[in-house]
Amino acid sequence: MSNINNPGNVTLRPPPLAMYIHIPWCSKKCPYCDFNSHESPRKIPEKEYVDALIADIKNDLHLAQGRKLSSLFFGGGTPSLFTGSSISTVIKCAEKLIGFTDDVEITLEANPESVNLQKFQDFCKAGVNRISIGIQTFNDQQLNLLGRLHSSYSATKAIEIARSAGFNRINIDLMHGLKEQNVSNALKDLQFAISSEVEHISWYQLTIEKNTKFFNDPPKLPDCRLISEIQDHGCQLLARYGYEQYEISSFAKQRKRCTHNQNYWEFGDYIGIGAGAHGKITLNHEQTLLRTFRTRQPNDYLKHKNRGEKKSIVVEVPQRPLEFMMNVLRLKNGVPLKYFPERTGLQESYISKIVTNLKKEGLLVDTETQLLTTSLGFRFLDTILDRFVRSHGES
């Protein structure tokens, strides 16, 4: 490995640029959720919050460095609590001040209980061209255990309404590994999703996180053996119906991958605006990487709405290989090897010893042009990442 203080004369190249827009309010806080979400007040300060988002965009214009946005993602929280007019205002501001690529993807997250046909039509008219519906499960009993406010009927209806409103790129979020779940009812959830003919399915395992109600009172979840069985059967079922697994928990029809999330996983750049939003930026002139963070509490955020305040930390050289690998190896087909020097500013030799050993062990594919896992490595990704964690510690 190269000397830690002399990574080599590799020029960082600013990658594609995205924008993440955080809407922090939900109708109700789910017991498993550790995201920056807050139960909404009786009246959400929507206009005031939109003003704050616009102030963020204006204050962060310099981070674009001449690049246009390839994607916008309204996440939460529950962005569908906002009106189409508010969403339109933010989109128009981002387009006017920074600009969009010709094929810009604009995603908005929605919950079934917070939308109707008019609202979906308004979002579509505002410029949203991809909708992501938080369903989690089509089982009413499980929805109740997860603290969700919608029913299986309203979940199915929300998909139908989104289609009627004009969306031809619909994602649904589904969980597996739920309390008392077996292979049969996990696959039943997937069958419902497949029958709805959505273009994208995010299918991920329920995990118990700190600072959640489930952490203090955890439900009894399936054991590792059963989880593995559910995952194997589920991936096979999705593949049979034309959903390609391109990332650990992401399955898409042909040419319907999520551009925004793929940019994260390819170690791209993104401006984070809104309460609690994070960003990652490559600074061209300074030849450095930054992580940015905004204050989490909506009230605190609104108090400083005209200042565009955020904290930032430099991603130091020893951290870069691990951060890069934690993202890119989530992709089933990995990334071109040239992304490592271009997006970390480090010579390929910085990771060559670890990569060579992982290839010998059958965890990485033996290729000179690509960084990707074998099927065994994809299954045991934590083992691969642990090598880079230990390498970081030794540095």
- Give me the CATH number covering residue 356: 1.10.10.10
Tell me the average pLDDT across 331-342. Answer: 97
Other Cβ atoms closer than 10 A to 224: 9
Of residues 48 and 395, which shows the higher confidence score?
Answer: 48
Residue 233 pLDDT grade (very low, low, confident, very high; cuts 50, 70, 90): very high
- Cβ–Cβ under 8 Å, residues 325 and 388: yes
Do 251 and 200 form a contact (C-beta atoms < 8 A)?
yes
> So what's the pLDDT on residue 3?
40
Q: Is residue 384 included in any domain, yes or no?
A: yes
**Residues 161-217: tens digit of each pLDDT:** 999 999 999 999 999 999 999 999 999 999 999 999 999 999 999 999 999 999 999
> Which of 245, 263, 281 is a domain's end point?
263
Domain, as residue range, for 329:
317-395
Model confidence over 89-148: pLDDT tens digits?
A: 999 999 999 999 999 999 999 999 999 999 999 999 999 999 999 999 999 999 999 999
Do 256 and 338 belong together in one domain? no
Question: Which residues make Cβ contacts (< 8 Å) with residue 77, sequence separation at least 6?
Answer: 22, 23, 24, 25, 26, 35, 36, 37, 38, 109
Q: Which of 224, 248, 263 is the last residue of a domain?
A: 263
What tokens were used for 145? 């255990």
Sign (positive/negative) of CA torsion 215, 220, 222, 223?
A: positive
Say whether pLDDT at 324 is over 50: yes
Confidence class for position 4, pLDDT limits 50, 70, 90: very low
The domain total for the chain is 2
CA–CA separation, 363 and 86 (whole Å): 47
The number of helix segments (H) and strand segments (E) in the chain equals 15, 16
SS3 state of residue 234 = helix
* Residue 101 located in a structural domain: yes
The rounded mean pLDDT for the chain is 94
Same domain, 45 and 171: yes
Residue 7: pLDDT over 90? no
pLDDT, position 354: 96
Cβ contacts of 66 within 8 Å, gap of 6 or more: none
Q: How far is CA 332 from CA 130, 199, 234, 383, in A?
A: 23, 18, 16, 16
Q: Are residues 80 and 216 in the same domain?
A: yes
Verify that 259 and 322 share a domain, yes or no: no
Pairwise CA distance, residues 120 & 158, whole Å: 9
Same domain? 200 vs 93? yes
Reading the block at residue 71, the tokens are 């994607």
- Is the C-alpha dihedral spanning 106, 23, 94, 11 positive or negative? negative
Look at the alpha carbons of 334, 4, 289, 74 in this order and tell me if their dihedral is positive or negative. positive
**pLDDT of 395 above 90:** no
Position 5 pLDDT exceeds 90 = no
- Banded pLDDT at 304 (limits 50, 70, 90): confident
